[in-house]
């Protein structure tokens, strides 16, 4: 069977930064540790006034294609996943192709382009589409370009405001990939939920507390569904578990729930039993409430064990390192988590080839998906080529007044012109409006 997966990744962050403990917390009258320890975030990325979902997507794709020595003729499909689209008809991928045609010889007229929407899980769904297209043999030797791009902005004053972010992740999907091979096995947890939605509005309507519960419930279903096809998952078999990361504190909860689930009926549960007892079983309780109380108590104890803490530090924490500095990138977030883990492994000199990642994607509304990925030989070269740290360090650190202006500048209901805070350098920029209301873009050397 041909291996299909991600051959290369590129990341593009918005060029601005909001310091959460230093700038945001004092304005909100909150303890800075609510953000750094509670939510697990140090900063958010924002788009400068000349940036948007198209520029970030095109910039990530441009870097990816240049680095891999690709021409438009090598790409048979461009899929953009986003929940920040500004057009109900013309897909963002057409704008991205238009940008790329400004800097490459040739065009993308032969390429199938589309846009995927299902909240934050659409990036993973686009990976699926590309995988299926290649597996079906319809790609004529060409690769797919999948780009997840979002400006995750909330209304000012919304509880989600602390979790904002902006950036794009571009992925090249090929046969015989150089980074990770995707598993055929997948698990889903999907239900009609109203936890987070944008009914023809820019900023989301969010029931934040409920959204956390829905995330965990759907993720658990997806894990059970995955195990029904791939067999039981064991914690020691996984190098990393990149989860969708709206904020690292969410993943802290998902990691704990996942660990309890996958250690049930294993030697790990037996070992831990001496210290914290065995996991509660529903059949031992008269009613659901007392069962849930017992589960909560067990989880609290589990969280404090040395065994769990070590596993979390090795398997989950490295996936969160970049997210802590950029916030929620919606569709790109889980793909950033994978990148963060691989970057961590490279820096630690860890040999990951042949090891397994379990990837937990999620989108509100709501759906979770779990699949496995096998790290390919030569993965180090792909990760070494990234410049994530340089990009993060180069961001302009906004004052509170800057932040207020830039939030207004990106608010579709406001007509505010804001001077750019950074100077674009070898990147695509928004260049005003065309005669039919289309957005125009230009490459700045």
What positions carry a catalytic annotation? 83, 120, 244
Place of tokens 């994607």: 361
Of 54-62, 129-137, 235-243, 357-365, which segment contacts ligand HMG by CB under 6 A? 357-365
Size of the site for ligand HMG (CB under 6 A): 30
List 98, 178, 208, 277, residue binding ligand HMG (CB under 6 A)? 208
- With beta carbons less than 8 A apart as the criterion, state whether 357 and 373 touch: yes
Interactions with ligand HMG, residue window 109-148 (CB under 6 A): 119-120
Minimal distance, residue 51 CB to ligand HMG, in Å: 20
Stretch that binds ligand HMG, among 1-9, 208-216, 352-360, 415-423 (CB under 6 A): 208-216
State how far the Cα of 405 lies from the Cα of 402, in Å rounded to an integer: 5
Q: Does 191 help bind ligand HMG (rule: CB under 6 A)?
A: no
Distance (Å, whole) CA 388 – CA 12: 8
Please give the structure tokens belonging to residue 299: 């989880």
Minimum CB separation of residue 31 from ligand HMG in Å reads 4
**Helix or strand run (H / E) with residue 181:** strand 180-190
Q: Which of 24, 46, 108, 215 binds ligand HMG (CB under 6 A)?
A: 215
Rounded least distance, CB 397 to ligand HMG, Å: 22
Q: How many alpha carbons fall within 13 Å on the CB side of residue 101? A: 14
Question: In this structure, are residues 205 and 198 in contact, taking their beta carbons and an 8 Å threshold?
Answer: yes
Q: Binding string to ligand HMG for residues 284 to 313, with x set by CB under 6 A, is what?
A: ------------------------------
Radius of gyration of the chain (CA): 22
Q: Of 235 and 248, which CB lies nearer to ligand HMG in the complex structure?
A: 248
User: Site residues for ligand HMG, window 364-393 (CB under 6 A)?
Assistant: 364
* Cβ 242 vs Cβ 30: under 8 Å: no
> Cα separation of 367 and 365, whole Å?
7
Nearer to ligand HMG, 186 or 333 (CB): 333
- 8 Å CB contact between 242 and 248: no
Binding piece for ligand HMG, criterion CB under 6 A, among 95-103, 241-249, 283-291, 429-437: 241-249
**C-beta atoms surrounding 117 within 10 Å:** 14
C-alpha dihedral over 374, 380, 384, 385, to 10 degrees? -70
Q: Determine which residue in the list 20, 206, 342, 357 makes contact with ligand HMG, applying CB under 6 A.
A: 206
Nearest approach in angstroms of CB 255 to ligand HMG is: 12
Q: How far apart are CA 248 and CA 267, in angstroms?
A: 29
Q: How far is CA 237 from CA 27, 97, 228, 254, 272, in A?
A: 45, 40, 17, 18, 18
Taking the least distance from each CB to ligand HMG, the nearer of 139 and 163 is 163
Residue span 55-94 as binding mask against ligand HMG, x where in contact by CB under 6 A, dash where not: ----------------------------x-----------
Q: How many helices (H) and strands (E) does the chain have?
A: 15, 15
Is 34 one of the binding residues for ligand HMG (CB under 6 A)?
Answer: yes
| Binding of residue 212 to ligand HMG (CB under 6 A) | yes
Q: Which of 74, 70, 333, 60 is closest to 171 using CA atoms? A: 60
Binding region for ligand HMG (CB under 6 A): 31, 33-34, 37-39, 83, 119-120, 159-160, 162-163, 196, 206, 208-209, 211-212, 215, 244, 246-247, 249-250, 328, 330, 362-364
């Amino acid at each position: 069977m041909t291996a299909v997966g991600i051959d290369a990744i590129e990341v593009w962050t918005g060029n601005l930064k909001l310091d959460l403990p230093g700038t945001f917390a004092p304005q909100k009258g909150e303890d800075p540790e609510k953000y750094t320890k509670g939510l697990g975030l140090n900063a958010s990325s924002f788009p400068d006034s000349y940036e948007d979902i198209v520029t970030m997507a095109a910039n990530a794709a441009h870097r990816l294609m240049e680095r891999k020595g690709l021409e438009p003729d090598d790409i048979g499909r461009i899929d953009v996943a986003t929940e920040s689209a500004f057009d109900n008809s013309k897909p963002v991928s057409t704008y991205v192709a238009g940008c790329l045609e400004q800097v490459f010889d040739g065009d993308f007229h032969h390429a199938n382009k589309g846009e995927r929407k299902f909240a934050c899980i659409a990036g993973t769904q686009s990976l699926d589409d590309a995988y299926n297209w290649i597996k079906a043999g319809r790609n004529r030797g060409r690769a797919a370009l999948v780009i997840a791009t979002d400006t995750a902005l909330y209304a000012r004053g919304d509880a989600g405001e602390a979790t904002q972010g902006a950036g794009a992740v571009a992925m090249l999907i090929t046969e015989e990939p150089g980074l990770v091979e995707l598993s055929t096995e997948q698990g889903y947890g999907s239900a009609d939920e109203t936890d987070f939605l944008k009914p023809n509005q820019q900023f989301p309507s969010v029931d934040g507390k409920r959204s956390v519960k829905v995330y965990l419930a759907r993720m658990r279903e997806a894990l059970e569904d995955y195990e029904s096809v791939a067999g039981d998952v064991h914690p020691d078999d996984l190098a990393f578990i990149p989860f969708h990361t709206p904020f690292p504190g969410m993943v802290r909860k998902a990691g704990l729930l996942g660990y309890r689930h996958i250690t049930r009926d294993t030697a790990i549960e037996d070992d831990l039993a001496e210290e914290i007892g065995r996991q509660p079983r529903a059949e031992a309780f008269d009613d659901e409430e007392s069962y849930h109380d017992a589960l909560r108590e067990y989880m609290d104890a589990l969280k404090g064990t040395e065994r769990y803490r070590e596993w979390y530090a090795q398997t989950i924490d490295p996936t969160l390192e970049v997210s802590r500095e950029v916030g929620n990138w919606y569709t790109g977030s889980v793909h950033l988590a994978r990148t963060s883990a691989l970057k961590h492994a490279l820096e630690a000199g860890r040999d990951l080839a042949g090891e397994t990642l379990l990837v937990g994607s999620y989108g509100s509304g709501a759906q979770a998906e779990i699949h496995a990925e096998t790290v390919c030989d030569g993965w180090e070269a792909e990760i070494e080529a990234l410049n994530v740290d340089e990009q993060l360090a180069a961001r302009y650190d906004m004052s509170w007044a800057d932040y207020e202006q830039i939030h207004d500048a990106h608010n579709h209901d406001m007509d505010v012109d804001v001077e750019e805070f950074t100077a674009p350098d070898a990147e695509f920029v928004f260049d005003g409006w065309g005669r039919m209301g289309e957005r125009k873009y230009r490459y700045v050397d």
